[in-house]
Structure 1
Amino acid sequence: MAVPTAYSLVATDLDGTLLRGDDTLSDRSLAALARAAEAGARHLVVTGRPAPRVRPLLDDLGGTGLAVCGQGAQVYDAAAGRLLFSVTLDRELAETALGKIEAEVGQVYAAVDQDGVDGLTLVEPGYVMPHPTLPAVRVDRRDDLWCAPISKVLLRHPTLCDDELAAVARSVVGSLATVTMSGPGTVELQPHGVTKATGLALAAGYLGLGPRDAIAFGDMPNDIPMFDWAAHGVAMANAHPELKAVADEITLSNEEDGIAVVLERLFP
């Protein structure tokens, strides 16, 4: 696919894509995003992280615009400090989905992201956060996970790899939820039909932009819907094979400023 000289919308995942392994942004990446902004492009963070876990990163980016959070379940307005859009995962459906998965693979360990700009991440006994830098509150038992509305459930299995757990979850969950795999140790259940693409389309609509205007960067299978929606999808060198298979282009890794390499070419 021929690459246009520029885009009006730059959509970037965070973990494994824009962020380095230590959760920092390189000066080169910041400069490349600033150059794109000077050329008139809008930058949209499109991440599985919930809004409360994205706010500090938006501050680092100087972001005062919109961000798509929670795998598409939230559209956050950084300037106003509020959610423009939010959809929750029915907690009874989440419990039912968990039961179906455990009937197939035995015990899994779960965590939830609560809804809202101040929502907490709650983790049950046995669950280990894949990103130890992200704050979480440990609860005593699974029932405590459902104490407030949630945007998604995060799952880990003691022996199955992510691909295996995600495959089983998809085979048994059906229309109870959408199953995604968004990073090492991160298989998730979110509201049925909600993906990064649905959230990105909504946020782009607020900006008066559409798929033809967008270039998207990602590293995991949860970015596939976003690539399907955008005009051009760029996978990182460290991306999951499923995403590389549908990408229009593969750049360098997140540690090697792969996003900056592409943006410097498009916005010289």
Structure 2
Amino acid sequence: MAAPPAYALIATDLDGTLLRGDDTVSDRSLTALARAVRAGARHLVVTGRPAPRVRPLLEDLGCAGLAVCGQGAQVYDAGADRLLWSVRLDRELAETALGKIEAEVGQVYAAVDQDGVDGLTLIEPGYLMPHPTLPAVRVDRRDDLWCEPISKVLLRHHTLSDDELAATARAAVGSLATVTMSGPGTVELQPCGVTKATGLALAADHLGIPAGRALAFGDMPNDIPMFDWAAHGVAMANAHPELKTVADEVTLSNEDDGIAVVLERLFPTD
């Protein structure tokens, strides 16, 4: 009988990690993931994108199981097209948090991801989507952002860098929300205490896989909790310096099949 794989769970971020800049996954990465799955490992997407924005990508990847979405606020069952678990960001707290941030840095531009498998991404006037391929609905005023339950708020500032905005927001909001930075132009507020690690831990527990057998890939500071939880964290060459500092290893970039390079080493044959 073949020995079980060293890693039973492979957790991959999407943007800047598994996905190339054009939102595609290379054939080499698909082949490497398929080989790992045949060896007995489970592949879980762990992403900041909400479930409705992940569904088409999961179909392309052939993933019909669980996915961790919305920075850990959602555990999505792709096969059943339903949320097994979700946490909402209180809308009054979100408004209060925005007020505290703007008291420090002046006007910010906001968007929200609505909760649910069919939730929309709403953007207020002045907000520019950092990822132009993701669909969004523009509203007339900020109050319209709160028309339905939300899972998170996305922020942009016209002059501050992402690092500066994230640091200021973290200090300003305190325990009102968790502040993360998940990509260029993507500073986010999510429910307090919710991270990719909390969502991944729930999904892994559902699958009966311990953290000690988990391998994680990422590229941004929002992946740090996931790296802390997993047995082994791999940062992409294009990763933010904060993530590289805590990673167990650094692989090639998302454009150069960095995930495949590691998986081919760990799962060399079928």
Shorter-chain TM-score bucket reads over 0.9
Q: Determine the structure 2 residue equivalent to 1:110.
A: 110
Q: For each residue in 1:56-115, what CA deviation from the matched residue of structure 2 results, as whole angstroms up to 9, or x when unmatched?
A: 000001001100000000000011110000000000000000000000000000000000
Q: Counterpart of 1:207 in structure 2: which amino acid?
A: L
Structure 2 partner of 1:54: 54
- 1:255 matched to which residue of 2? 255
1:87 aligns with 2:77: no
Are 2:5 and 2:40, in contact at CA under 8 Å, matched by a contact in 1?
no
Percent of aligned positions that are identical: 87
**Is 2:199 the partner of 1:187?**
no
Instruction: Map 1:1-268 to 2 at 5 A.
Output: 6-268=6-268
**What's the CA shift for 1:6?**
2.8
CA deviation profile, 1:111-158 (whole Å, cap 9, x unmatched): 000000000000000000000000000000000000000000000000
Structure 2 SS opposite 1:33: helix
Structure 1: which amino acid aligns with 2:28? R
Aligned length: 265
Give me the TM-score of the superposition, normalised by structure 1. Answer: 0.98
CA distance in structure 1 between the aligned counterparts of 2:158 and 2:60, rounded to whole angstroms: 35
Q: Match of 1:233, SS? A: strand
The one-letter amino acid paired with 1:247 is A
Structure 1, unmatched stretches of 5+, are none
Equivalent residue letter for 1:150: I
Counterpart secondary structure, 1:17: coil
Output the amino acid matched with 1:152.
K
Aligned counterparts of 2:147 and 2:174: Cα–Cα separation in 1:
25
Which amino acid counterpart does residue 80 of structure 1 have in structure 2? A
Q: What TM-score do the two structures reach when normalised by structure 2?
A: 0.97
User: 1:179 & 1:192 partners in 2: Cα distance?
Assistant: 8
Corresponding residue SS for 1:49: coil
What code does the residue aligned with 2:56 have?
P
Q: Which amino acid aligns with 2:164?
A: E
Gaps of 5+ in 2: none
SS in 2 for 1:32: helix
Distance 1:196 1:19 in 2: 18
Counterpart amino acid of residue 24 in structure 2? T
**Equivalent position SS for 2:45:** strand
Distance 1:6 1:162 in 2: 37
Other structure's SS at 1:132 match: coil
The AA in structure 2 aligned to 1:132 is P
Q: Matched residues in 2 for 1:219 and 1:46: separation?
A: 12
Q: Output the CA distance in 2 between the equivalents of 1:5 and 1:55.
A: 28
1:168-217 Cα deviation digits (max 9, x unpaired): 00111011000000000000000000000000000000000111110000
Q: What displacement does 1:5 show?
A: 6.6
Distance of 1:6 and 1:55 partners within structure 2: 29
User: CA–CA distance in 1 between the matches of 2:46 and 2:92?
Assistant: 27
The answer on whether the counterparts of 2:5 and 2:41 sit within 8 Å (CA) in structure 1 is no
**Helix, strand or coil for the counterpart of 1:18?**
coil
Whether the aligned pair in 1 keeps the contact of 2:181 and 2:188 (CA below 8 Å) is yes
Deviation at residue 161 of structure 1 after TM alignment: 0.4
Runs of 4+ in 1 over 6 A off after TM superposition: none
Three-state SS of the structure 2 residue aligned to 1:15 is coil
CA RMSD of aligned residues (A): 0.9
